Amino acid sequence: MNPTLTPLHLALGAPAGLLTWEHIEQLFEIGVGETAQLDWKRVLPEHDEFAKDVAAMANAEGGVILYGIAEQKRQGLAVASKYFPVDLSEGRYSSMRNSLTSRVRPVVTDLHFHPIPKDGGSEGVLMVVIGRSANAPHVVGNATQFTAPVRAGASTRYMAEYELAQTYRRRFENDTSLRAALADMEHQLLAGLDRSQPWITTVARLEFTSVSRAPIGRRDVAGLMHAANAAAADLGNGQRQSTYLDYVRENDHSPRIGLRRWILESYFKAEPDAVPDRMRVELHHDGSIAIATNIRSHAMLSADDERRTVGEDFINVHARDSVGLITALAAAGAASTTYVARTNLQVPTHLDRGLQVWGPHISQAGYERDSLVLPGSRSVREFVPTELTIDVGDQHSALDAAKQLANDVLAQFSISRRLGFAGDEP
């Protein structure tokens, strides 16, 4: 669930963004009541209780738990009525998060903590945002005795055996349909490319697509691309190339119309059948993204002119650009910040000796000037598409996702990622 656009935002009539203490005061003024997606708690929970509450939300439609809010019954409704300060130290809610790993299976990944301090102090209200989970049912307990709590109205109950069976069935069906949707998105992306060239592609869609999301307006595209460019740059370490999205930024005020999407291409010409030479980006109205970057424009031919190479930096930049696009679309009003991405390398058949990875050689003094095929890099003729669940709810999660995306690509060349992301040594 997007922590900047939650059911609490909707209940308060608040625009997208992080909530502040003024919103908590508004919560009392309006008298917002508990629902299936809103839960008030007076004090911070014990670990077992927290596990049950998180699993219950994830097994239903997701929602928000506010700690530090007392409730009062009004006409059968539990209305937010009074503030009781709770400890907002990072160690306190880090302990809460860590407690889930041994108590909830599978782990709930779409989980965000947002402290709302009063008067800038160390106490206030703790907001926990839980997304609807594609991995439901989540069970709590031990290996031999467990239950599956679920939110039902403003209360929590436990699933019956037939409900568990139905929920497991939905999990497997959703996984199958999501994989098929990603493969179809990739096929449509490739249809607009010159397949005689080598490309790296990533397509990503929300784990749960929101049917109510408003279409992206033409005037919104430039802002989204600016946000994506900034997000991608923030994931870099300030060294070397930070993003390739500038290739299409010159066209972000005049994107092409596609099937429920906007299309941006590098050096786009007026001819309807023109194909991009460096990059193609698709911004889908349902919040999905697709990006393709031409490897040839960043490749280095081997001496025999039969094998091309792909740069380590190039792979890192593509990973940052992909996560940057996802971050921008999620921040623009997606119901969730959890996406599933598929990355592939399209190697043309005429490159029958495959691709290798090249990059700067690193010594104790830092980068050397020469960029050569990296020692140990194997040739890849047929790349195995990688799939990754990506949460861009915060900078740390987005950075981890970009690193993992790059690692998954480089691993197929028997190469470990070395540098190129925020926090890496220059």
pLDDT in tens, 166-212: 999 998 988 889 999 999 999 999 999 998 889 999 999 988 765 45
Phi, psi of 90 (to 5 degrees): -60, -35
Residues 120-158 pLDDT 10s? 889 999 999 998 888 899 999 887 889 999 999 999 999
Predicted model pTM: 0.80
Q: Do 264 and 248 touch, CB atoms closer than 8 A?
A: yes
Looking at the DSSP assignment, which residues form a beta bridge with residue 359?
372
How many Å apart are CA 383 and CA 119, to the nearest integer? 54
User: Is 376 found in the same domain as 326?
Assistant: yes
CA 365, chain centre distance (Å): 36
Please give the residue range of the domain that contains residue 29. 7-159
Give me the tens of pLDDT residue by residue for the chain, a chain 426 residues long.
777 789 999 999 998 888 999 999 999 999 999 999 999 999 999 999 999 999 999 999 999 999 999 999 888 889 999 999 999 998 888 899 899 988 999 999 889 899 999 988 899 999 999 988 888 999 998 878 899 999 999 999 999 999 999 999 998 988 889 999 999 999 999 999 998 889 999 999 988 765 456 789 999 999 999 999 999 999 987 665 678 998 887 666 788 899 999 999 986 555 667 788 889 999 999 889 999 999 987 665 444 434 578 888 899 999 999 999 999 998 887 667 889 999 999 988 888 888 888 887 655 555 555 567 888 889 998 999 999 999 888 888 899 999 999 999 999 999 987 677 887 765
Residues 98 and 186 occupy one common structural domain: no
CATH no. for residue 92?
3.30.950.30
In this structure, are 124 and 218 located in the same domain?
A: no
User: Residues 288, 206: one domain?
Assistant: yes
The helix/strand/coil state of 358 is strand
Q: For residue 165, is it within any domain?
A: no
Q: With contact defined as beta carbons under 8 Å apart, do 110 and 1 qualify?
A: yes
Instruction: For residue 286, give every residue at least 6 positions away whose Cβ sits within 8 Å of its Cβ, in sequence order, or none.
Output: 205, 206, 209, 210, 211, 213, 260
Q: What is the pLDDT of residues 18-33, one digit of tens each?
A: 899 999 999 999 999 9
Looking at the structure of the chain, the number of domains it has is 2
Does some domain include residue 164? Answer: no
Instruction: Tell me the two tokens of residue 319.
Output: 């990973």
Residue matched to tokens 């997701």: 62
How far separated are the first and last CA of the chain, in Å rounded? Answer: 34
**Do 98 and 134 sit in the same domain of this protein?**
yes
